[in-house]
Structure 1
Amino acid sequence: MSVNAPVLVFMGVASTGKSTVAAMLAGRLGWAFEEGDDLHPEANVAKMAAGHALDDDDRWPWLDLIAEWIDERIEAGEPGIVTCSALKRSYRDVLRRDAVTFVHFAGERELILDRMLRREGHFMPTTLLDSQFATLEPLQHDERAIEIDIALTPAEQAAQIASRLRLHPDY
């Protein structure tokens, strides 16, 4: 097991580009990538698609699956990136490990709403954006994290993350 293998949790409200940048950066680095939305139980997806926000009881089992994925990477000594909204401190606490760094994709509501309106094939309706912002708890000084401005292009975001965290294929 390698304690040096980092795991990044790309977090933030919907439509901030977490998945796009995660896939791009993981591909460049040769790291494992997991789309956190794919780990949602079908009931969660159906609930959100119907316009209902998830509550904590819906989220805990999903967060546990993401935590398992993180633990598998750490135990194997393999770096990785997983996407997860991780809106509350308590959710991030479930995912927190020594090897984990949170990357918060942050931006203006209007920009995010515009992206949501143009997004195709995703279960998250625009009506849930305000509930996500209401749930979002700011990162605290004791959380290992950086913030990325979503107004940058995905390539600029990936480059900034790699530079700020000093990432490279061999970690």
Structure 2
Amino acid sequence: MIIIVLGVAGSGKSTIAKALADANHCQYIDADDFHSDANKAKISEGKPLTDEDRRPWLETLHALIRHWLDTNQTTVLACSALKYRYRLALSDNDPAVKFVYLKGSYALIAKRLRERQAHFAKVDLLKSQFETLEEPTPDEAIQIDIDIETDVDSIVRDINAAI
């Protein structure tokens, strides 16, 4: 099984995906690690990526997901997957690929991004990410609303219960 934790920058994808992988004793991968240097530079400048910018990144991730499925490697992947077609490209509608959507308000996520250090995505990027986001439907992904009060362990328990 592949679990893709998705959402805009600052929604907690990496934190939740890592904790989920730890709880399930499987590998954790961050899709950001597969962006080209040019994409990372563009993001760090607050410039949104185009579909063309994302294409090679999505192709790489798709190949990795197919490999993990073919070799029975349970994996939790933190990945923005903002558009339906990106999610389709990643999953091929394979039922072994599950999506978990971390949903939060613009205000909450902007606050998180302002407080976050050492990451190339900054608050300037958030507006374009929300504009690009095609929220997954409840039948497409497990929906987890982000609450500043909710601790990571509780979110991981909710995800495991839903899977």
Q: TM-score normalised by the shorter chain: which range applies? A: over 0.9
Aligned to 1:54: 49
Contact 1:36–1:83 at 8 Å: present in 2 too?
A: yes
Letter in 1 for 2:106: R
**Aligned residue runs from structure 1 range 58-73, under 5 A:** 58-73=53-68
Query: How far 1:140 moved relative to its partner?
Result: 3.3
CA shift in 2, pair 1:141/1:25, >3 Å? closer
Aligned to 2:144: 148
Query: How far 1:105 moved relative to its partner?
Result: 0.4
Aligned to 1:89: 84
Q: Which runs of 4+ in 1 moved over 3 A?
A: none
- The secondary structure found in structure 1 opposite 2:137 is coil
2:134 to 125, 137, 145: 137
**Aligned residue runs from structure 1 range 2-151, under 5 A:** 6-96=1-91, 97-140=94-137, 143=140, 145-151=141-147
Question: Unmatched 5+ residue regions in structure 2?
Answer: none
Contact 1:48–1:124 at 8 Å: present in 2 too?
A: yes
Aligned CA RMSD, in angstroms, stands at 1.1
Q: Using the aligned pairs only, state the percent identity.
A: 38
Question: Unmatched 5+ residue regions in structure 1?
Answer: 1-5, 166-171
TM superposition score normalised by structure 1:
0.89
TM superposition score normalised by structure 2:
0.93
Distance in 1, matches of 2:55 and 2:67, equals: 18
- The secondary structure found in structure 1 opposite 2:70 is helix
Contact 1:104–1:146 at 8 Å: present in 2 too?
A: yes
Query: How far 1:142 moved relative to its partner?
Result: 5.3
Distance in 1, matches of 2:69 and 2:7, equals: 23
Superposed CA deviations along residues 8-34 of structure 1, whole A, max 9, x for unmatched, are 111010011111111111012111111
